[in-house]
Amino acid sequence: MNAQALSMSSLPAPRGRRPLPGFGISLGFGMAWLGVIVLLPLAALAVRAAGLGAEGWLRAIQDPRVQASLKLSFGAAFIAALLALVAGALVAWVVVRYRFPGRRLLDALVDLPFALPTAVAGIALTAIYSGNGWVGRWLEPAGLKIAYAPAGIVIALVFIGLPFAVRTVQPVLEALGREQEEAAVSLGASRLTTLRRVVLPELLPALLTGFSLAFARGLGEYGSVIFIAGNLPYKTEIAPLLITIRLEEYDYNGAIAIAALLLAASFVCLLAINAIPMLFAHERRGRGRE
């Protein structure tokens, strides 16, 4: 009996049966789908953009209408990302640190812009902030025009960018706990000092990541903006809409130039999102060695 048990124990343990095939086959299929769905269209756009040449690029980008739309898109996306970052951090703080009736409902509502069609969001925001809307009828007589103005574009981009800020900050707050804050308070630190010296350094990577995600999302947003923007050339016309207009005018080179520029900006944001955690991890390792 002992010999039989010894011989059975010497046999290699059977491997667990995995639901998917081996690493090589799984990686091959995954990369194939990723290449066909994502990389191939982006590569085609990059090749077409490179074929424009320097002269074609300058001619497309130096158009005053293109420059106005790019300034509006980048400026509105930047401001909206900042506002979404502040509001998202506050919402994440409330959801994580407090217990109150309706907390789970509030947490679920954060993801509503992900599930809601962007066109529906744009129509709803226009109905609220237009001159005869629920809020616009009170703001416009006071000189605050929201719909069909750059302010409406910013509000629409904050709407779709807020979930990114909340969902990047919330896990960090949940992992942070309250021990460090309580230790700072026990040592006599004020609320502002605790926030500035204890909480913000831990949240900074997540805050920067949330800002980058909201900014990149705002650059390419189309559906929720075109209804509330008014789409006036040189005033409230965003770059994604101008791409569509250039295609309708059969100006393919102009559309490709604008699309490639937005793609490059999104790619830079993607690099920043992946580089931010590594930079802060390297900095923390350097502090630990000291």
Which residue has 């630190």 as its token pair? 189
Model confidence, pTM = 0.82
Phi-psi region at 231: left, alpha or beta (left = phi > 0; alpha = psi -120 to 50): left
Which has more pLDDT, 74 or 270? 74
- Contacting residues for 217 by C-beta, under 8 A, at least 6 apart: 157, 160, 161, 164
Would the pLDDT of 6 be above 90? no
- The predicted pLDDT at position 1 comes to 47
Which has more pLDDT, 194 or 247? 247
Q: Are 198 and 180 in contact (CB under 8 A)?
A: yes
CA–CA distance, 126 with 187 (Å, rounded to integer): 51
- What b/e readout covers 77-99, taking b as 16+ CB neighbours within 10 angstroms? bbbbbbbbbeebbebbbebbeee
- The predicted pLDDT at position 8 comes to 47
Mean pLDDT on 153-175: 92
CA–CA distance, 165 with 170 (Å, rounded to integer): 9
CA–CA distance, 144 with 156 (Å, rounded to integer): 16
Structure tokens at 246: 């250039």
Would the pLDDT of 231 be above 80? yes
Would the pLDDT of 59 be above 70? yes
Residue ranges of alpha helices (H) inside 130-251 are 136-139, 150-176, 179-186, 191-194, 200-219, 223-229, 239-248
Would the pLDDT of 280 be above 80? no
Type of residue at 271: L
pLDDT tens sequence across 26-47: 777 878 888 888 788 888 888 8
Structure tokens at 83: 């506002």
Structure tokens at 54: 């320097």
